[in-house]
Amino acid sequence: MKIVRVEEIEDAVRRLSMDVNYYIRDELREAYKKALEKEVSEIGKEVLSQIIENVELAASEQLPVCQDTGVSIVYVEIGQEVKIEGGNLYDAINRGVSRGYKEGYLRKSVVRDPLFNRVNTGDNTPAMIHVEIVPGDVFRITFMAKGTGAENMSRLAMLTPAAGVKGVRDFVLKTVAEAGPNPCPPIVIGVGIGGTFDTVGWLAKKALMRKFGSRHPDPNYAKLELELLDEINKLGIGPQGLGGRITALDVRIETAPCHIGALPVAVNLDCHAHRVGVWEK
Amino acid sequence: MIKRITPPLDDKILEDLRIGDKVLITGKIYTARDAAHKRFVETINKGGQLPVDLKGQVIYYVGPTPPKPGYIIGSAGPTTSIRMDSYMEPMLKAGLKATIGKGYRSWGVVDLLKKYKAVYFIATGGVGALISKKIKKARIVAYEDLGPEAVMELEVEDFPVIVANDIYGGDIFEEGVRKYQEITLPFKIERISEV
């Protein structure tokens, strides 16, 4: 049996919250460079150059790439042969977020009550925590700093089976087209298909938390991911919505079985900073 | 051509700005986002006095990260402007002449900008570290209790923006998509609207 101490979890979350905000992953930096090569609009190229310059500056001075250092989404996969020792898992994660956001000079962007009393909690807690029990003895934390510019432009639809592939495709394109410049393009798109009303949104988020550029194991969906990326890049939105060919950097789909009468679809958008990090024990 | 401006902005400056123009702002601008706008407009509606005189001024929609030791400000890029759309008319009535943010405005705001002779600038979203270098001084002038949403007075130098909506009703985003769209869509694209 593998033992994971809560102190290790707290420290991993603390470091992840700072690291994802300061350091943009290599695969994403590569994607910016490729986008710059492909972009045809002058203003689009200028925006992409600023994005590249910004991530270099942020990394060299340990500054957050964006002032919206996000709400913290923490996805924990716990192997059923793992034992957590020393305290409560959820408290350890929140202590990690609190310390990371304070020690790392990150913005605190969470209010306690959504409607009547929107007072800032002051340390970016609570994190949005999702826990899944998986086979084996892996313990994996996937951390995402999710800005709200792109989150607010995300959409969910309860389509019917008759809508089919065309219905899904049109809903994804409409969501991206209507979001336009608001989610900070070039964006990354997570699509959830199937499940129920409650699970489909989480599927879309999981798609965003999956490895950048990875394809769905089912070739039908893998093909759809690439087709959607191609079509989204024909919408003309371009970097920052100022017109151009590069509107999205990647599209990833996660799926689940669903009811015979249902076809739920969720489209979760993420900005070009796309801050995700993983810690494993 | 790059245009240089310094607030307060008068009609002569505003008449010269067209969508797509690159502009460098030098001088004092004010920050405000969701919670500060709510208080501004509640104050206006009660007939009270605002903590800053908005006449001819520029508001930057930003909630910066806290400054590291030795820094003036943290990362400080623009936030999505559309969330402030429903507060726009009273702000424009109070004399506000320009806003800086990212993303489109609802068509209602595009009309208001024409009506009140004001402009909307965009700064590049998601490059907050880079933009922070254009800010030379920062101090809180109101609503300190709002934390990252407090109103600050910023002194900026060559702060780079683009005119997205001018006083003539032009809209940069519509023009951009029209130029580069290569796909026929089976639906109408509606702008998400708050006004």
Half-sphere exposure of A122 (CA within 13 A, CB side): 1
Is residue B192 domain-resident?
Answer: no
Cβ of B2 under 8 Å from any chain A Cβ? no
The parent domain of residue B134 ranges over 2-171
Residue B37 a catalytic site member: yes
My answer on whether A185 and A134 are in the same domain is: no
Instruction: Give CA–CA dist A23/B8, Å, rounded.
Output: 38
Is residue A127 situated within a structural domain?
yes
Query: With b meaning 16 or more CB within 10 Å and e meaning fewer, what string describes A157-180?
Result: bebeeeeeeebbbbbbbbbbbbbb
User: Can you give the pLDDT at residue A207?
Assistant: 98
Write out chain B residues lying below 8 Å of A41, CB-based: 176, 179-180
Evaluate whether residue A270 is within a structural domain. Answer: yes
Residue A220 lies in a domain: yes
Q: Is the pLDDT of residue B1 over 90?
A: no
**Mean predicted confidence (pLDDT) in A176-201:** 98
Task: Using the predicted structure, report yes or no on whether residue B194 has a pLDDT greater than 80.
Answer: no
A229 contact residues in B (CB cutoff 8 A): none
Domain count, chain B: 1
Q: Is the Cβ pair A178, B189 closer than 8 Å?
A: yes
Mutate to test the interface with B, among A182, A230, A272 (most CBs of B within 10 A): A182
Residue B190 lies in a domain: no
Do A204 and A127 have their domain in common?
no
pLDDT at residue B188, as a whole number: 92
CB contact under 8 A, B176 and A245: no
* Domain shared by A141 and A157, yes or no: no
Q: What is the mean pLDDT of residues B48-55?
A: 96
Instruction: Report yes or no: B73 and B67 within 8 Å, Cβ to Cβ.
Output: yes
Residue B150 pLDDT more than 80?
Answer: yes
Chain B positions touching A235 (Cβ under 8 A) are: 177, 181, 183
A128 and A16 co-located in one domain: yes
| Domain stop point among A146, A171, A191 | A146
The pLDDT of residue B173:
96
B195 residue type, one letter: V
- Residue A153 sits in the same domain as residue A128: no
- Residue A146: pLDDT band (50, 70, 90) is very high
pLDDT in tens, A89-108: 999 999 999 999 999 999 99
DSSP code, position B150: S
Q: Residue A75 is part of a domain; what is its CATH number?
A: 3.30.360
Domain's final residue, options A111, A146, A181: A146
Residues A222, A210: contact at Cβ < 8 Å?
Answer: no
Based on the domain organization, do A141 and A154 belong to the same domain?
no
A143 pLDDT more than 80: yes
Q: What is the mean pLDDT of residues A7-22?
A: 98
pLDDT, residue A131, reads 98
Q: How much of chain A, in percent, has pLDDT values that exceed 90?
A: 100
Q: Are residues A75 and A18 in the same domain?
A: yes
Question: What pLDDT digit, counting tens, does each position of B84-95 carry?
Answer: 999 999 999 999
SS3 B187: coil
Determine, yes or no, domain membership for B176.
no
Is there a contact between A105 and B192 if contact means CB atoms under 8 Å apart? no
A98 and A157 in a single domain? The answer is no
Q: Reduced to 3 states, what is the DSSP secondary structure of residue B185? A: coil
Whether A17 and A110 map to the same domain: the answer is yes
Is position A239 within any domain? yes
Contacts of A162 (CB under 8 A, 6+ apart): none
> In this predicted model, what pLDDT tens digit does every residue of A239-275 receive, in sequence order?
999 999 999 999 999 999 999 999 999 999 999 999 9
Helix (H, G, I), strand (E, B) or coil at B144: helix
pLDDT band at A60 (very low <50, low <70, confident <90, very high): very high
ipTM: 0.96
Q: What is the pLDDT of residues A206-238, one digit of tens each?
A: 999 999 999 999 999 999 999 999 999 999 999
pLDDT for residue A244:
97
State the smallest CA–CA distance between residue A26 and chain B in angstroms.
17
Mutation choice for A interface testing from B31, B75, B81, B159 by most A CBs within 10 A: B75
Which of B19, B30, B37, B151 is catalytic? The answer is: B37
Tell me the C-alpha distance between A77 and A2, whole Å: 14
Give the C-alpha separation, A216 to B181, whole Å: 28
Question: A109 and A76, same structural domain?
Answer: yes
CATH number at residue B65: 3.20.130.10
Total number of domains in chain A: 2
Task: Note whether A92 and A18 are same-domain residues.
Answer: yes
Q: Is residue B60 part of a domain?
A: yes
Facing residues of A194 across strands?
A: A256
Q: How much is the mean pLDDT over chain B?
A: 96
Is the CB of residue A101 less than 8 Å from the CB of residue A123?
Answer: yes
* Residue B192 binned pLDDT confidence (cut-offs 50, 70, 90): confident
Domain boundary at A146, A164, A192, which? A146
Assigned domain for B90 exists: yes
Residue B178's Cβ-count burial label (10 Å; 0-12, 13-18, 19+) is exposed
B148 touches chain A (CB under 8 A): yes
A55 in a structural domain: no
Same domain, A128 and A192: no
Average pLDDT over residues B63-77: 97
pLDDT of residue B193: 79
- Of the two residues A195 and B195, the one the predictor is more confident about is A195
Per the domain annotation, does B189 fall within a domain?
A: no
Domain residue limits at A219? 149-279
Residue B195 has pLDDT above 80, yes or no: no
What is the 3 state secondary structure string of chain A? CEEEEHHHHHHHHHHHHHHHHHCCCHHHHHHHHHHHHHCCCHHHHHHHHHHHHHHHHHHHHCCCCCCCCCEEEEEEEEECCEEEECCCHHHHHHHHHHHHHHHCCCCCCCECCCCCCCCECCCCCCCEEEEEEECCCCEEEEEEEECHHHHCCCEEEEECHHHHHHHHHHHHHHHHHHHCCCCCCCEEEEEEEEECHHHHHHHHHHHHHCCCCCCCCCHHHHHHHHHHHHHHCCCCCCHHHCCCCCCEEEEEEEEEEECCCCEEEEEEEECCCCEEEEEEC
Tokens for A175, please give them.
Answer: 């969501």
Specify if A74 maps to a domain.
yes
Residue type, B4: R
B25-29: average pLDDT: 98
The pLDDT of A121-128, averaged and rounded, is 98
